[in-house]
Structure formats: structure tokens, C-alpha cells
Amino acid sequence: MEHLSEILLSRLSDFIANHIGLYFPEARWRDLERGIHAAAREFEFDSAEACVQWLMSAPLTRLQIEVLASHLTVGETYFLRDRKTFTALEEEILPQLIRSRRGGERQLRIWSAGGCTGEEAYSIAMLFDRILPDVANWHVTILATDINPRFLRHAAGGSYNHWSFRDTPSWMKERYFQERKSSRFEILPRIKRMVTFSYLNLAEDSYPSLTNNTNAMDLILCRNVLMYFAPDTVRKVVGNLYRCLVDGGWLIVSPTEVSHTLFGQFVTINFCGMTFYRKAQSLDLQVPTFEFRPFLPETKLETPNIEVEPGLGTLPPMSEVGIPGRAPSPSDNSKPETSYSQPEPNPYTEAVSLYEQGQYSAAVQKLEELVIRGPNRPEVMALLARTHANQGKLTEAQEWSEKAIATDKLNPGFYYLRATILHEQGRTDEASLALKKALYLDQNFVLAHFALGNIARQQGRHKESEKYFGNALTLLKRFCRRQMD
Ligand SMILES: C[S@@+](CC[C@H](N)C(=O)[O-])C[C@H]1O[C@@H](n2cnc3c(N)ncnc32)[C@H](O)[C@@H]1O
């Protein structure tokens, strides 16, 4: 095997840390080198060095990231990994979430981030199958994402060998799998349908977003993932995951990833010898101390029929959309600034900052005060829509998006926002209509073309989807040319 120079390996490890998050300190350069040789073969390079130079010559494409990830990531996982965590989930965390939603929207959203070959997400689906008897009346989303396309394909196939059950009680295999030839165990279709798998690179800032279904999570499992990341990436990912949670939502990492400093913005919950993290209910309302109750008798074993959201996974992130953030109106900051006085806080800017930090309840409070105080400001309403959407309150989100449109009918960004929320609600035709209105107002709105292309493709209208994708590409090329001029 041709060895890469230390200088190149050092540059490469920084490059991988920046783009994929994975941390390769000097002690792990041999692993990095092995992975790069395999990737170079897949890219059909004779020399690993030439492949590295090529990779580092421009921003990585999605395909390059996928190939690198498939040779550099570790795929260690199994059903009910860390049994105590799943006991806590089954006995305490999920029942508590279910109780808190029973009287309301009956919606629960779970995300296995870095879910690998699916054992973690399917384990959660099986827990729901055990503890939620009236599941047909619920809207449960279990999203599992990973950067490695091979792992995702394996997960979607739902077929496992003995190794995936290495510390798993036998009831799980017996109840939820069918044995096939060559000692493979296939997960039951009804459990398989409960989980949606999709690609997501945690090192990128593409989440939280309504558009890839990573917003308004009640529970995120990101276990044995952060431990492979560079320190800066860990901090960024933890901040992003925090923002993906609804107030009171849970983050679970593996016991070896627990850290007081890293998860300082969360409330720490200890029980059963395990540490869990929870986003506070709001700035001033702390999460009540978690009470661990003794085991409950096993409740039900009926066959639920969970309807799983398809997961948008297709529309681009709302954060990238040009929803115009207008200059604050004078009413926010009426006194002139002087050289000797501190500028008065601007409530809208404060609300934006709260939103960006994931402090959604506090952001809503501030924004609603602005609405009451008037005058009508569409950007305040649009931010209210986005904040509600990030809390999973889609009805409110939709209402505010409509109010934003009613206040400013000529803003294409507001129609795009409305379309994204409608799409999330499964109202695809209305979403298409809103996107077409956005294009009517601004025919160069790339994201609206792209979103319409995705919807048309999902609905099997391939010619139409090609037309929209073609438009998006033409506009992007024009944009690139302008940038280069
Ligand atoms: C050791 S597995 C953990 C699987 C599972 N969470 C568990 O605890 O059993 C780590 C997973 O993180 C994924 N991963 C690594 N880097 C990632 C990134 N930048 N974005 C998303 N997933 C990533 C890997 O592909 C791998 O599937």
C-alpha cells in the first residue's frame, strides 16, 4: 500500500473533520489511510494521493461524502444496545411523552441520528408496539438518518443476522422477526413501516428543518456517534440537536458520551444509573425533577398500525429560503442611539436570536408581544410560523404563515413557507399551489422550482419534475456565472 505523507494526512484529517465531522488524530492515521485507499479504488484512481488532491480541490459533493463515509465510518450497533437505556425509555420516558400528548395532538416524533443499520430505530418501533395500544389514533414519526448509504440500504432492507442480536433478549427476535434462509431474520413489515430512513450529514447545518423532517423532535437518540467527531463538530452538532427538540424534548447519548460541559444547555436527568438530557420547558420554567417509578407491569401486546409520516427529505431547508428578514420597524427601537447610552434591546432581533438558539417558547412569547403591540409586521408572523413549526404545532404554524401572506401578499418567501408547512401536513396539492404562487411572484425562485420538481417526482410525474429541475439548474448556472464575473 502506497503511504501518504504526514503533511497530506494531516491536511486530509482536517478536511474530513470539517466536512464529515469524523476525527482522525495522528494515532488513527493508519485507519484514515486504509479508508482513503478503498475510496480511491471506488473513485477509480490509481493513486490514493491523486485522489486526495482531487477531493480537496473543491467542496465535496454529496456523492463524494457518501463514498468517503462508507469507508471511514464505524457500523457497530445491535438491537436494544445499552439495555438500561431502553428500559428507561420503555418504563419512563416514552410513557411520560405519551401521557403529555394524550389530550392534545397525539403526535410523537423520534429521531435516531447516526442510526447506522437501523437496529436502534427499529428497537424504538418495537417499544412503541409494546406500550401504545391505541397507536392507530396517533401520528408517530420515527426517523433514522445516517451518512453512510450502505448502512441506510441495509436498514431499509430490514434483514439481520445473529450478530445484530448479540445482547438482545430472545422475545424480541421471536416476536418481531421471521427467520429466513441462511440464518437471516427479517423484521415484520408492520414494524418496518414505522421507520423512515434518510441520508443526513450531521456535520452540516441542514437541521433542524421542516424540509428534512428534523424539526420538533420529542426524543433524539444520538448514541455512539459524537465520540467519533472532532471537538468543534461535537459542539456544533449538540447545539443543532438542541434546536431540533421541542421544549421538554429528550436527547439520549451513550453512557461514554455523557459530559457536563458539552450538554450544559440541557437539564440533566439521572436515574437508573444513567444520564439523560432534556431541553427545559422554557427559559423560566425548568423541567421538574424526573421521578423514577418502579417497573410497571407489561401492559399490552396488541398489533398497532402506526401511520408513519413519509418524511419530506426533499424540500430544501427553510433556513436557506429567502424569507425576507426586514429591517426592524421603528416601533422596536424608537429612541435614537446616542454615544453615551446602550442601544435598547430590539425585541424582534431578540426573538430571532431565541429562535436560533432553539428557545422556541420564549421566542413565541416575544413575537406575540410584538404582534399585540402592532403594527402588523409580516416578518414577525413568518417567524411565528417557523417557531410553531419547530415545536410541531403545524396548525398554528400554518395559521401564522397565512397571516404573513395576508399582510404582505407579494412576498414569494411567505408562499414557500406556507408550502413547506402544507407539505409537512401531507397537503401536497395545496403545497404545489402555494409554490406556483411563489413562482408567479418570482420566476427565478430556485427553491420553489426545486420543491415542485420533488413533488412531481414523488407523484410519478417525471416529465414535469425534469422541467422544474431543469429550471432550477438553469437558474443556478446563471447565478454561478454572475458570481464568477
Ligand atoms: C457506531 S454507529 C452508532 C449506531 C447507533 N447509534 C448505536 O448507538 O448503536 C455510528 C454511526 O454514525 C454514523 N455517522 C458518522 N458520521 C456521521 C455524520 N457526519 N453524519 C451522520 N451520521 C454519521 C456512522 O455512519 C454510523 O452509522
Please check whether residues 405 and 459 belong to one and the same domain.
Answer: yes
Q: Take residue 305 and report the three cell numbers written for it.
A: 398500525
Is residue 430, in this structure, part of any structural domain at all?
yes
Q: Take residue 164 and report the three cell numbers written for it.
A: 445484530
Choose the weakest-confidence range: 93-107, 167-181, 334-348, 396-410: 334-348
Distance CA 21, CA 55 (A): 16
Shortest-distance atom of ligand 1 to CA 202:
20
Q: Take residue 395 and report the three cell numbers written for it.
A: 396548525
C-alpha of residue 171 to centroid of ligand 1, in Å: 26
pLDDT (mean) for 382-395: 91
Domain boundary among 261, 278, 295: 278
Is residue 102, in this structure, part of any structural domain at all?
yes
Shortest-distance atom of ligand 1 to CA 20:
19
Distance CA 61, CA 276 (A): 35
pLDDT of 24 strictly over 80: yes
Sorting pLDDT into bands at 50, 70 and 90, what band is 483?
low
Residue 474: other Cβ atoms inside 10 A: 13
Is residue 331, in this structure, part of any structural domain at all?
no
Please check whether residues 230 and 255 belong to one and the same domain.
Answer: yes
Please check whether residues 94 and 192 belong to one and the same domain.
Answer: yes
CATH number at residue 373: 1.25.40.10
Question: Could you tell me which residue, 326 or 36, shows the higher pLDDT?
Answer: 36
The enclosing H or E element of 252 equals: strand 245-252
Distance CA 317, CA 408 (A): 22
Please check whether residues 105 and 200 belong to one and the same domain.
Answer: yes
Query: What are the tens digits of pLDDT across the range 256-313?
Result: 999 989 999 999 998 878 999 999 875 433 333 333 232 222 222 222 222 223 333 3
Question: Which pLDDT does position 102 carry in this prediction?
Answer: 87
Please check whether residues 455 and 351 belong to one and the same domain.
Answer: yes
Look at ligand 1, atom 5, and give the residue with the nearest C-alpha. Answer: 115
Question: Which pLDDT does position 297 carry in this prediction?
Answer: 28
Query: What are the tens digits of pLDDT across the range 139-189?
Result: 999 999 999 999 999 999 999 999 999 999 999 999 999 999 888 999 999
Please check whether residues 50 and 91 belong to one and the same domain.
Answer: no
Question: Which pLDDT does position 299 carry in this prediction?
Answer: 27
Please check whether residues 231 and 353 belong to one and the same domain.
Answer: no
Question: Could you tell me which residue, 369 or 303, shows the higher pLDDT?
Answer: 369
Query: What are the tens digits of pLDDT across the range 305-364?
Result: 222 233 333 334 444 343 433 333 434 443 333 344 566 778 899 999 999 888 898 999
270 bridge partner residues? 275
Is residue 391, in this structure, part of any structural domain at all?
yes
pLDDT (mean) for 36-60: 96
pLDDT (mean) for 397-412: 93
The enclosing H or E element of 143 equals: strand 139-146
Is residue 333, in this structure, part of any structural domain at all?
no
**Residues contacting 410, CB < 8 A, separation 6+:** 441
| Substitution candidate for ligand 1 out of 62, 70, 146, 163 with most atoms within 8 A of CB | 146
Is residue 339, in this structure, part of any structural domain at all?
no
Is residue 442, in this structure, part of any structural domain at all?
yes
pLDDT (mean) for 54-66: 95
C-alpha of residue 225 to centroid of ligand 1, in Å: 5
Domain boundary among 40, 72, 104: 72
- What letter would DSSP give residue 362? H
Question: Could you tell me which residue, 66 or 303, shows the higher pLDDT?
Answer: 66
The enclosing H or E element of 174 equals: helix 170-176
C-alpha of residue 118 to centroid of ligand 1, in Å: 10
Is residue 17, in this structure, part of any structural domain at all?
yes
Please check whether residues 369 and 272 belong to one and the same domain.
Answer: no
pLDDT of 28 strictly over 90: yes
CATH number at residue 192: 3.40.50.150
Sorting pLDDT into bands at 50, 70 and 90, what band is 484?
low
Please check whether residues 36 and 173 belong to one and the same domain.
Answer: no
187 bridge partner residues? 177
Please check whether residues 354 and 413 belong to one and the same domain.
Answer: yes
Contact 320, 447 (CB under 8 A): yes
Please check whether residues 87 and 197 belong to one and the same domain.
Answer: yes
Question: Which pLDDT does position 477 carry in this prediction?
Answer: 86
Average pLDDT, the chain: 86
Domain boundary among 17, 52, 72: 72
Distances (CA, A) of 249 to 93, 277, 467: 10, 9, 41
**Number of domains into which the chain is organized:** 3
Sorting pLDDT into bands at 50, 70 and 90, what band is 199?
very high
C-alpha of residue 221 to centroid of ligand 1, in Å: 11
Please check whether residues 466 and 356 belong to one and the same domain.
Answer: yes
Please give the residue range of the domain that contains residue 17.
Answer: 6-72
